Amino acid sequence: MPETTDSNACNRPIRRVVIAGGGTAGWMAAAALSRTLGKVLDIKLIESDEISTVGVGEATIPTLVTFHRLLDINEQEFMAATQATFKLGISFENWRDVGQDYIHSFGITGKDHWSAGFQHFWLKGRERQLASDYGDYCLELKASQQNRFAHLPKGGMNYAFHMDAGLYARYLRRFSEGFGAQRIEGKIVEVCKDDASGHIRSLMMDSGEEIEGDLFIDCTGFRGLLIGQTLGAHYQDWSQWLHCDSAIALQTRSVGEAIPLTRSIAREAGWQWRIPLQHRVGNGIVFSSQHWDDEQALRTLRDNIEGEVLTEPRVIRFKPGQRSETWIGNCVALGLSSGFLEPIESTSIHLIQRGIVRLLQMFPASGISPADVAEYNQQTRNEIEHIRDFIILHYHVTQRRDSAFWRGCREMEIPASLQHRIDLFRQTGRVFRVPNELFAENSWVQVMLGQGLVPEQRHPVADLMDDGELARFLDGIRDRVNKTVAQLPAHQTYVQTYCPGE
């Protein structure tokens, strides 16, 4: 547990919440707080029309569906308002090696035995030439490959969304204002602290207005105006493991039907994303500035996009890492102000959501206790370190040797926690999910196999089936998957019927 200082304590009841920043983080926080505690809190959100949002976080994971359910957000209304499409996973292209692809899907693959995951049965099936691709036993994966989608009865299909980030903030603004949150437009020019406690007292606006509060939520993006610039929270730099530090984003007009997959295409010094929405496609390239200058990255991006370009390219710089503490005194940081892990697994919006839920669970209505602050920070650190390891896995376990960037990724030393997971899987085929970890065993297995890591052994429980039984077991799963997929409508058709527009 981290040390807590008395400066985190505050006996004053919390009634006035001030959210600094109106990007995805700010408006998600405003929506959840106003929907849940709007009747007892005074909630203000400050955003500046002069300072644009980062605006590129457009691929999500299934936990957003849960977040919307908690808030009672109508999915059809949300999808129509944000031009959203469904997402069933991520297609990783050229990551294992140039020309080799796999999908990390949101579904469950096959059927586990209580003592061993499905991969052990599949491995035996491969040895005996009874099994086809690992992905053939996963409904979401096969549906995404065939560009199909439908809502299925509970637990039937695990999905997320691709959405327009700017429209999402606008949608959540309307939602939050409906529950009493107040928006203030203007630039924060000073963060005023109370000398005795060191807590934030107010935010000074360029208009001269002073906005006072009891609790401040820093959603000012990479600036980290409150948590970093004012409170000096330490930033743990993880660039020794995550070598990309830049991105270029641009939007194109859609050509063809929107697929229910985010595409992540590895390039010589980074990777390119493609996020299909109803009205356009979000594109970008994430890269290492040590290996490519902006021009090389932009050229690669332009050479590999389809459709008319709708926006000027935007260059974004970042430092991969995380603040050691995201709650200090009466300030909680959410979104980019709290840290940033690159978006190959679309985890940033999920982390915003987790921060909000955690804050609501520990909401300090009658004063801030150092124990809550310590707990919040510890949980946040644990959660993000597992995600960090999962992301590093994609870079490190690769067969690519074609550029200095990929050779560097292969040869780097990785966190001991990740090395252990890789060794365990390589030697035994086993993976164990750590409590409260985002990615479950099936995600780790899909990515480890997809990246080319083949276990040396498998669990003996797979030997309880003879060849005939194993073939029936594997074929039965695959047949059920294929039968269900064949009955699903085309994704685009389903989206058009489900949300015909505002």
Residue 336 within binding range of ligand FAD, rule CB under 6 A: yes
Q: Whose CA is closest to 4, among 338, 327, 373?
A: 373
Question: What are the distances in angstroms from CA 444 to CA 26, 433, 440?
Answer: 31, 9, 7
User: Beta-carbon neighbour count of residue 229 at 10 Å?
Assistant: 14
Residue 65 within binding range of ligand FAD, rule CB under 6 A: no
Distance CA 356, CA 363 (A): 10
Distance CA 90, CA 141 (A): 9
Closest approach of Cβ 413 to ligand FAD, in Å? Answer: 26
Question: What are the distances in angstroms from CA 207 to CA 186, 394, 403?
Answer: 7, 47, 52
Residue 31 vs 247, nearer CB to ligand FAD: 247
Residue 349 within binding range of ligand FAD, rule CB under 6 A: yes
SS in 3 state form for 312-339?
CCEEEECCCEEECCCEECCEEECHHHHE
Residue 53 vs 288, nearer CB to ligand FAD: 53
- The single residue among 163, 188, 387, 431 that binds ligand FAD, judged by CB under 6 A, is 188
- The single residue among 14, 46, 150, 374 that binds ligand FAD, judged by CB under 6 A, is 46
Closest approach of Cβ 225 to ligand FAD, in Å? Answer: 6
* Beta bridge partners of residue 102, listed in sequence order: 92
Residue 318 within binding range of ligand FAD, rule CB under 6 A: yes
Span 206-225, contacts to ligand FAD by CB under 6 A: 219-221, 223, 225
Q: Which stretch binds ligand FAD (CB under 6 A): 68-76, 107-115, 342-350, 357-365?
A: 342-350
Closest approach of Cβ 22 to ligand FAD, in Å? Answer: 4
Distance CA 329, CA 194 (A): 11
Closest approach of Cβ 247 to ligand FAD, in Å? Answer: 3
Span 372-401, contacts to ligand FAD by CB under 6 A: none
Residue 326 vs 451, nearer CB to ligand FAD: 326
Give the number of residues in contact with ligand FAD, rule: CB under 6 A. 38
- The single residue among 10, 14, 19, 23 that binds ligand FAD, judged by CB under 6 A, is 23
Distance CA 215, CA 143 (A): 45
Residues 312-325: b if buried by 16+ CB within 10 A, e if exposed: ebeebebebbbbeb
Closest approach of Cβ 25 to ligand FAD, in Å? Answer: 3
Q: Do the bridges between strand 321-323 and strand 235-237 make them parallel or antiparallel, or are there none, so unpaired?
A: antiparallel
Residues within the interface to ligand FAD (CB under 6 A)? 21-26, 46-48, 51, 53-54, 56-60, 165, 187-188, 219-221, 223, 225, 247, 249, 284, 286, 316, 318, 335-337, 343, 346, 348-349
